[in-house]
């Protein structure tokens, strides 16, 4: 694992991973199993064994780790109690997310906050739990890249909280912010377990399977299938999913790990990623030219995906600046090169037949 700090992984107690079928959760589970850990994985319906067979296969291939599946519903109190029994660590990676929501509060914000409450209240009822690692997001730190100021060396870090998202603008970011704030509120009300959060920027890199509904996979697919002839020069932080998983494990087992951790290996842009991929995959229609910002601003209200003119103004042709110092110094994370992350993920889509030569 890309971690420079030595630490002992306690394999005598199982760990709980919520949202086990997610993109980050899959790679986290893979690394835990390879370390010999027993993983209690929660899913909505464990009786649908075909949906989790790929995770069972990871356990079988690991040679040392084992996995058990439990039901976990982010909207049902007590539903995580059974899976959490005997666990020393809880990795809460699950978060409800709907692209096609009708009501931002009821469909995004309320479920995210309520789900966090339910999982953490369960942790408080489980005497064996000593640490909770929460998968938060850089969305809980900022709404728009314009909140960075790379020119004047103003980077976003763990001290920053998102104060600009609203129910009307970037409600997903609002949901992540309020969910993490609720987690810290609950953590501060008890002393049985310690909370550590991981705040990744845009996650790329190969998953343990193809996650069709993932924004990360959708973006990478668009970069290679010809549907994006011109690329938005959208400033963003990027991080490899394997580094994110390793950071979760370090946050769980390093005694000194505490607080929030910005996980962002590279200050980059979607266009920069495309230009890294193009020479490596010359037979695929990877865009290397930017969409002019004025044109994108003009067309924004008519494009799929709900991009607003405000979003274009604040995120296109704006340089990202994230400070990952704490993740390096406290967790010992060594970030993979961005071209390796992109190439490995693109190659996975080629190998799976998701992308074909044009």
pLDDT tens profile 299-324: 998 887 668 999 999 999 999 999 99
* pLDDT at position 302: 87
Instruction: Tell me the Ramachandran region of residue 36: left when phi exceeds 0, alpha when psi lies from -120 to 50, beta otherwise.
Output: left
* pLDDT at position 4: 77
Domains of the chain listed by start with CATH number: 15-209+237-266+321-336 (3.40.50.720)
* pLDDT at position 151: 46
Q: How far apart are CA 56 and CA 52, in angstroms?
A: 7
- Give the contacts of 337 (CB within 8 A, at least 6 positions apart): none
* pLDDT at position 99: 59
* pLDDT at position 100: 66
* Residue 176 annotated in active site: yes
Counting beta carbons within 10 angstroms of the beta carbon of residue 191, is it exposed (0 to 12), middle (13 to 18) or buried (19 or more)?
exposed
Q: Which residues of the chain have pLDDT under 70?
A: 1, 96-100, 149-153, 305-306
* pLDDT at position 153: 64
- Give the contacts of 276 (CB within 8 A, at least 6 positions apart): 338, 339, 342, 343
* pLDDT at position 57: 96
Of these residues, 130, 176, 194, 280, which one is catalytic? 176
């Amino acid at each position: 694992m890309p971690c420079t700090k030595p630490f002992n992984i306690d394999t005598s107690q199982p760990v709980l991973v919520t949202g086990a079928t997610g993109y980050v959760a899959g790679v986290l589970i893979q690394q835990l199993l390879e370390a010999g850990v027993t993983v209690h994985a929660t899913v909505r319906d464990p009786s649908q064994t075909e949906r989790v067979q790929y995770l069972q296969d990871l356990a079988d291939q690991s040679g040392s780790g084992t996995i058990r599946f439990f039901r976990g519903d982010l909207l049902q109190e007590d539903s995580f109690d059974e899976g959490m029994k005997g666990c020393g660590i809880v990795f809460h990676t699950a978060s409800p997310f709907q692209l096609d929501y009708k009501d931002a509060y009821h469909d995004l914000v309320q479920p995210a906050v309520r789900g966090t409450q339910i999982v953490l209240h369960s942790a408080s009822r489980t005497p064996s739990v000593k640490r909770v690692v929460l998968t938060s997001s850089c969305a809980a730190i900022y709404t728009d890249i314009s909140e960075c100021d790379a020119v004047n060396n103003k980077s976003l870090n763990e001290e920053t909280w998102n104060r600009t998202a609203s129910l009307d603008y970037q409600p997903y970011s609002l949901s992540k912010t309020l969910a993490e704030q609720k987690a810290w509120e609950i953590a501060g009300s008890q002393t049985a377990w310690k909370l550590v959060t991981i705040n990744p920027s845009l996650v790329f890199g190969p998953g343990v399977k193809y996650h069709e509904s993932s924004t990360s996979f959708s973006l990478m697919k668009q970069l290679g299938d010809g549907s994006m002839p011109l690329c938005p020069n959208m400033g963003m932080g990027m991080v490899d999913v394997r580094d994110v998983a390793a950071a979760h494990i370090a946050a769980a087992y390093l005694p000194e790990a505490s607080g929030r951790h910005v996980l962002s290996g590279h200050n980059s842009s979607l266009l920069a990623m495309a230009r890294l991929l193009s020479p490596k995959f010359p037979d695929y229609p990877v865009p290397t030219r930017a969409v002019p910002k004025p044109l994108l601003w003009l067309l924004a209200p008519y494009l799929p995906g709900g991009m607003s003119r405000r979003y274009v103004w604040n995120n296109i042709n704006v340089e990202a600046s994230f400070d990952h110092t704490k993740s390096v110094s406290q967790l010992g994370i060594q970030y993979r090169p961005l071209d390796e992350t992109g190439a490995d993920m693109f190659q996975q889509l080629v190998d799976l037949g998701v992308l074909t030569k044009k």
